[in-house]
Amino acid sequence: MLTFPDKKEITKEEIEAALDFSSAQVIENLAIFTHAFQKAYSENGFYQPIPNNYWTTGFWTGEIWLAYEHTGDERLREAGEIQIDSFLERIDKKIEVDHHDMGFLYSPSCVAGYKLVGSKKGREAAIKAADQLISRFHPVGEFIQAWGTMDAPENYRLIIDCLLNLPLLYWASEETGDDKYKTIADKHIHTALANVIREDYSTWHTFFFDSVTGAPHHGATCQGYRDGSAWARGQAWGVYGTALAYKYTYREEYLPIFKNVCEYFLAHLPKDLVPYWDLEFTDGSDQPRDSSSASIAACGMLEMAKYLTDEDSAHYRTLARQIMKSVYDNYAVKDKKESNGLVLHSTYSNHSPYNTCNHYGVDECNSWGDYFYMEALTRLKKDWRLYW
Ligand code: GLY
């Protein structure tokens, strides 16, 4: 297993200082972002407000809840509850919910609000979101379709990111006593892990199936540099996603998958342990970084550390502390005049000659980068009851 013996670990005092600054930044932002949400990415370091109509809005509400956990400040609780009203309205009116990102939207906002302050509206909204998510399940291919209308063969694919949407289904089964959500999540995980992980444990971003037979067809990237490369965030979703898959299923075969997907991620990091946006690039490259991937992977390592032997667990905790030390030292915002976000140098969607995505949010803060930074710090500070 790869180790980085020359790298320092984030200290208790730095974790506290980072959470203090982040929480103060979130509180300052409430003036604009209580009845509105952060745009997915900052522009020149600053987020603009948007309505609750994009796949990323749950991360901002998640930051509010994490700041509430850190400070106990009642202004945060009130703002979190106002945002839950908006999420309930969104799912009731089906505003921009015809995609698979119900977990990203409803776990850090509504499940979190239910777990932390017993929000009944949060519970109702999250169960409705789970119903929406399972409506995208294909029984023949045995997966949840990511994007687009359900009847078009060109949309018949899953994407690795979806592993983070599935905890919503396990939670919904536990809450309602109805196994239908969990059964679908189990099937999707099985199909996803059997197909998106390549032989060398790099990962496909997206994977297509034959819409008639359900047979695996081919992998392709959308946001990575090229089809055969490993998009950094896809690999990071793979690290955290397999840890969560193990948490909810306890299937032994997911343990080596976690370890190997993680090892691939670590082996392709530059010296400061924060990846470029695609793992194709390393030290010396002038390509942008994706700092969000570092925090996401650290969260996955800290989750998986709960289920491993003492030795393995210590190994992954050390790695997570080393990665977060670099994110804190080299990427985190330290002055509110510089940005109203938390972590700089993330990349949302970087167009390349070989991929199919648009170009935006490159080398900026992004909402999930900020959220997973706070989550990783909170996990390092205490035994955190996860929102996922
Ligand atoms: N789930 C989309 C992304 O990671 O950009």
pLDDT digits (tens, 9 = 90+) for 286-323: 999 999 999 999 999 999 999 999 999 999 999 999 99
CB-based contacts of 97-100 (< 8 A; 24+ apart in sequence):
97/129, 97/132, 98/149, 99/55, 99/136, 99/146, 99/147, 99/148, 100/133, 100/136, 100/144, 100/145, 100/146, 100/147, 100/159, 100/162, 100/165
Given a contact cutoff of 8 angstroms between Cβ atoms, the answer to whether 169 and 130 are in contact is yes
Question: What is the CA(299)–ligand 1 centre distance, in A?
Answer: 16
Nearest atom in ligand 1 to 164's CA? 1
Question: What is the CA(161)–ligand 1 centre distance, in A?
Answer: 6
Taking the CB of residue 16, how many other CB atoms lie within 10 A of it?
Answer: 13
Of 166, 142, 146, which Cα lies nearest the Cα of 248?
Answer: 166
Distance CA 371, CA 54 (A): 16
Q: Under the phi-then-psi rule, with left for phi > 0, alpha for psi from -120 to 50, and beta for the rest, what region is 118?
A: left
Question: What is the CA(3)–ligand 1 centre distance, in A?
Answer: 28
pTM of full prediction above 0.85: yes
Which pLDDT score is estimated for 20? 98
Which pLDDT score is estimated for 283? 98
Per-residue pLDDT band for 333 (boundaries 50, 70, 90) equals very high
Given a contact cutoff of 8 angstroms between Cβ atoms, the answer to whether 71 and 16 are in contact is no
Query: Which residues are identified as catalytic?
Result: 101, 161
**CA distances (Å), origin 241, targets 192, 197, 245, 268, 321:** 10, 12, 6, 19, 19
Which pLDDT score is estimated for 345? 98
Q: Does ligand 1 come within 6 angstroms of the Cβ of 280?
A: no
Cα-Cα-Cα-Cα torsion 9, 13, 15, 18, nearest 10 degrees, comes to -120
Q: Which of 41, 158, 162, 237 to mutate to test the pocket of ligand 1 (most atoms within 8 A of CB)?
A: 237
Nearest atom in ligand 1 to 223's CA? 5
Q: Does ligand 1 come within 6 angstroms of the Cβ of 364?
A: no
The 10s digit of each residue's pLDDT in 359-388 is 999 999 999 999 999 999 999 999 999 999
Distance CA 65, CA 59 (A): 10
Which pLDDT score is estimated for 74? 98
What percent of the chain lies above the pLDDT cut of 70?
100
Distance CA 49, CA 272 (A): 32
> What count of Cα atoms within 13 Å lies in the side-chain half-sphere of residue 99?
15
How far separated are the first and last CA of the chain, in Å rounded? 27
Which pLDDT score is estimated for 206? 98
Question: What is the CA(257)–ligand 1 centre distance, in A?
Answer: 21
Which pLDDT score is estimated for 369? 98
Using a 10 angstrom Cβ sphere, with 0-12 exposed, 13-18 middle and 19 or more buried, the burial of residue 371 is buried
Which pLDDT score is estimated for 79? 98
Which pLDDT score is estimated for 308? 98
Q: Does ligand 1 come within 6 angstroms of the Cβ of 290?
A: no
The 10s digit of each residue's pLDDT in 120-152 is 999 999 999 999 999 999 999 999 999 999 999
The 10s digit of each residue's pLDDT in 160-184 is 999 999 999 999 999 999 999 999 9
Distance CA 105, CA 165 (A): 9
pLDDT, averaged across the chain: 98
Retrieve residue 23's tokens. 């929480």
Which pLDDT score is estimated for 290? 98
Separation of CA 309 from chain center? 25
Retrieve residue 7's tokens. 């790298």
Which pLDDT score is estimated for 32? 98
- Type of residue at 289: R
Which pLDDT score is estimated for 191? 98
Retrieve residue 131's tokens. 């119903």
Which pLDDT score is estimated for 234? 98
Which pLDDT score is estimated for 49? 98
Which pLDDT score is estimated for 372? 99
Q: Which residue, by CA, sits nearest to atom 1 of ligand 1?
A: 161
Q: Does ligand 1 come within 6 angstroms of the Cβ of 375?
A: no
Of 220, 307, 291, 318, which Cα lies nearest the Cα of 258?
Answer: 307
Q: Does ligand 1 come within 6 angstroms of the Cβ of 161?
A: yes
Which pLDDT score is estimated for 321? 98
Per-residue pLDDT band for 233 (boundaries 50, 70, 90) equals very high
Which pLDDT score is estimated for 10? 99
Given a contact cutoff of 8 angstroms between Cβ atoms, the answer to whether 348 and 369 are in contact is no
The 10s digit of each residue's pLDDT in 239-293 is 999 999 999 999 999 999 999 999 999 999 999 999 999 999 999 999 999 999 9
